[in-house]
Amino acid sequence: MTIEVSDKAVSEIKRIQQTDPSASGAMLRVQVVGGGCSGMSYKLGFDSQPAGTTDKVFEKEGIRIVCDSKSFLYLSGTVLDFTDGLNGTGFVFNNPNAKRTCGCGSSFSA
């Protein structure tokens, strides 16, 4: 299994990397952290290199995505998408492992 990234998300990540000097050439780190109304929350950030030997690294169209092994247990098979519709703008996690999500979509339970 892997973490997939939609074409729309790839375009947005590339746009951020071009406009934010701290993100230029960096990898997108995808994590699961404790918290949120459903127990676990998604966290995105940029890293210049993997944090350790257990990090999993994926690539799509020149974008490198890194995920620690603990978070990957919850994110395997997830599709990272980007929306800019009427209901808000931002990254969206389509996670098949989530048994329950909150109304805002930023936290889940597995």
What residue segments make up the domains of the chain, in order of their start? 4-100
Q: Is residue 22 predicted with pLDDT exceeding 60?
A: yes
pLDDT in tens, 30-77: 999 887 665 788 899 999 887 778 899 999 999 999 999 999 998 999
Q: Identify which of 85, 93, 88 has the alpha carbon closest to the alpha carbon of residue 30.
A: 93
Q: Is residue 105 predicted with pLDDT exceeding 80?
A: no
- To which CATH superfamily is domain 4-100 assigned? HesB-like domain (2.60.300.12)
Q: Is residue 24 predicted with pLDDT exceeding 80?
A: yes
pTM for the whole structure: 0.82
Q: What is the mean pLDDT of the chain?
A: 85
CA distance 37 to 90: 19
Better-predicted residue by pLDDT, 40 or 23: 23
